A and B are shown apart, each in its own frame.
Chain A
Amino acid sequence: DAKTTQPPSMDCAEGRAANLPCNHSTISGNEYVYWYRQIHSQGPQYIIHGLKNNETNEMASLIITEDRKSSTLILPHATLRDTAVYYCIVRVYNQGGKLIFGQGTELSVKP
């Protein structure tokens, strides 16, 4: 799996958009970008995934650059409950097997 790089921490004001970047410059053609988050003392939670087109669901939007070397997870209106560690993982789609976590970005949403 390709390696990802994320900033260790970010702050965001409540109600504003949170934009979390991820670099994955060695991503290969059949690898998807996945995002998970982990709220303190809980198991991780799936957020969204994408290949090359931008994706949106009820939780977030995923913007992938045209060269696919980086992506941004967008929480459009961050709330205090979005405070968590966000993990960007690159993985081949529909392939079983282990999921390896990097260090992630600790997002603090402040009132």
Chain B
Amino acid sequence: GAVVSQHPSRVICKSGTSVKIECRSLDFQATTMFWYRQFPKQSLMLMATSNEGSKATYEQGVEKDKFLINHASLTLSTLTVTSAHPEDSSFYICSYRGDTEAFFGQGTRLTVV
């Protein structure tokens, strides 16, 4: 199946700084990627849909100026958490939707201190 590589797997940052998470499709071209966030003991919540060469589409309640998504190529989508605060600490996961199934990155554990 398709391989989605997400980096870093975990990151700790200071409050007020920005963090970039990369999501690469290793063996396919992804015109659309999805970004999820998951808090402890909760399900995955869709944050936004990343479209190659165009603006991302954000779900209701997700601040587009805080969670910057860039999808400049068919193999790379990035999520930047700007001015991170402790409440942004979470598990972030990217995903590619194939013809029959979805493929997910390994996830990034972000801790803001």
Band of interface residues on B: 20 to 34
Q: Which of A40-54 contact B (CB under 8 A)?
A: 41-46, 49
Consensus secondary structure, chain B interface: strand
For B75, the chain A residues whose CB sits under 8 A away are none
Asked whether, in the complex, the Cβ of A96 is within 8 Å of the Cβ of B32, the reply is yes
Asked whether, in the complex, the Cβ of A43 is within 8 Å of the Cβ of B6, the reply is yes
Whole-angstrom CA separation of A10 from B44 in the bound complex = 20
Asked whether, in the complex, the Cβ of B109 is within 8 Å of the Cβ of A41, the reply is yes
Asked whether, in the complex, the Cβ of A42 is within 8 Å of the Cβ of B97, the reply is no
Asked whether, in the complex, the Cβ of B104 is within 8 Å of the Cβ of A94, the reply is no
- Which listed residue (A34, A43, A49, A103) contacts B104, Cβ 8 A? A43
Q: Which of B16-35 contact A (CB under 8 A)?
A: 32, 34
A sample of 20 more A-B contacts (CB under 8 A), given A99-B97, A101-B43, is A36-B102, A38-B44, A41-B109, A43-B4, A43-B95, A43-B105, A44-B95, A44-B104, A45-B104, A85-B43, A87-B43, A94-B99, A94-B100, A96-B97, A97-B97, A98-B97, A99-B95, A99-B102, A100-B46, A102-B43
